[in-house]
Structure formats: structure tokens, C-alpha cells
Amino acid sequence: MVSTFEWDEHNGVAPGTPTHGITNGNFGNVDQPNIDISVEANKIPRGENSYSKYISGHFSGTYSQIGPNGKLWKSAGSLPSGVTLKAAMTNTYVAPTKTATGDGDIPTAEGSALAVNFGSSEENATAAQTTANPAWTPFYRCQLQTTGAAPTGAIGAQTITLKYDES
């Protein structure tokens, strides 16, 4: 028995409606969780951005502490030309839009990974470790940005790695 983990996503106007245990992290031309990318209206037009996504790691179950040493990065997968994945950790939720988030490219090495804090909610996840149960990471805000050179279709398999200490 240890902690159990799931991804949550917030959508809509602030403070956002949480969906627990989302089953996919697809980017799309719509602000909703578990996006079906086979739906034409959900596809991101070439040269445009996806709606930003606000995803958080949610811990429950049996543990004394989550953290420290939380890190998140893209550990595998290559993005096609004309496509970039932007990412940041933030404690502040704003309604997702297609406007560029202004975040940098997601780190692709552990050494430059995004630092991940933990707390009793996404907004309170400001410390390196927490004894709160349940506990959350801050919002992992991410957005897919494309240029006119982006190819048609899915971006291919990418691996997102989350690393942390637990006791």
C-alpha cells in the first residue's frame, strides 16, 4: 500500500471545473478533458495553437509524505517540425484559451526538468514536500503550438516523466 496517483484536469472559467482521473491528455481546438481527436472540430488547425491545458497530479492512499525532489520533463519522443510543446508549473488557474501561454519549451532532460511542488490543492502546492492527504502538484500548464509547416495528424508518441520522493 502506497500512494495512488491519477491526473486531474481543470476546464472552463476560473476556478475551473476539475475532472479526476482523466483518461487522455490530448491537445485540441476545444477546452475540455479527454478530447476525442477523431472529431473534426477538435483538431488543431495548422498554424494555430491548441487550447492550453491545466493538468495536475493527484495523490491519495497511504503515505506519510509526498516530495521533495519533484520533477517533470519530456523524456522521450520527437515532435514533428512546426510543432512545439510549451509547459510550465503554476499555482494559478485561468480559463484555457488558444492564446500563446508564453511558457518555454518543455524540458527534455532531467537536469533541466520543471520543478514540481506539492500541497493540499493545486493552488497550495508551493512547498517541496507535503504531508497533506490527498495532495496535488501545481497545475502543469501545457500547450501545443503549430506553424504552417506542421504535418497533418497526430504528433506521435511522447513520454512525460514525473519523479518525486515518497515515504
Partner 1 sequence: MSSYKIQFPWTARFKDGSELRQFNIDGSENLFKKVLERRDLTEFEVGPVTVDLRDGSFLIHGVKLTGSCGVEAFEEWGIDERLPKRIIYFRRVKRDFDSATLQEKKDPYVVYAVGWQALIPPDEKHPNGCNVKHIVFIHPNGELVVE
**Residue 86 or 148: which CB sits closer to partner 1?**
86
Q: Taking CB under 8 A as the rule, does residue 136 contact partner 1?
A: no
* Residue selected from 28, 49, 51, 74 as contacting partner 1 according to rule CB under 8 A: 74
Only segment of 11-19, 95-103, 113-121, 158-166 that touches partner 1 (CB under 8 A): 158-166
Determine the Cα–Cα distance for residues 98 and 127; give it in Å rounded to an integer.
30
Sketch the per residue contact string, 112 through 131, with partner 1: x for CB under 8 A, - otherwise: -------------------x
Beta bridge partners of 7: 57
Q: Taking CB under 8 A as the rule, does residue 52 contact partner 1?
A: no
Per-residue DSSP letters for 2-16? -EEEEEEEEESSTT-
Q: Taking CB under 8 A as the rule, does residue 38 contact partner 1?
A: no
Q: Taking CB under 8 A as the rule, does residue 62 contact partner 1?
A: yes
For Cα atoms 150, 112, 79, give the angle at the middle one, nearest 5 degrees.
15
Beta bridge partners of 49: 145
Neighbours of 161 (CB within 10 A): 12
Q: Taking CB under 8 A as the rule, does residue 161 contact partner 1?
A: yes
**Residue 5 or 95: which CB sits closer to partner 1?**
5
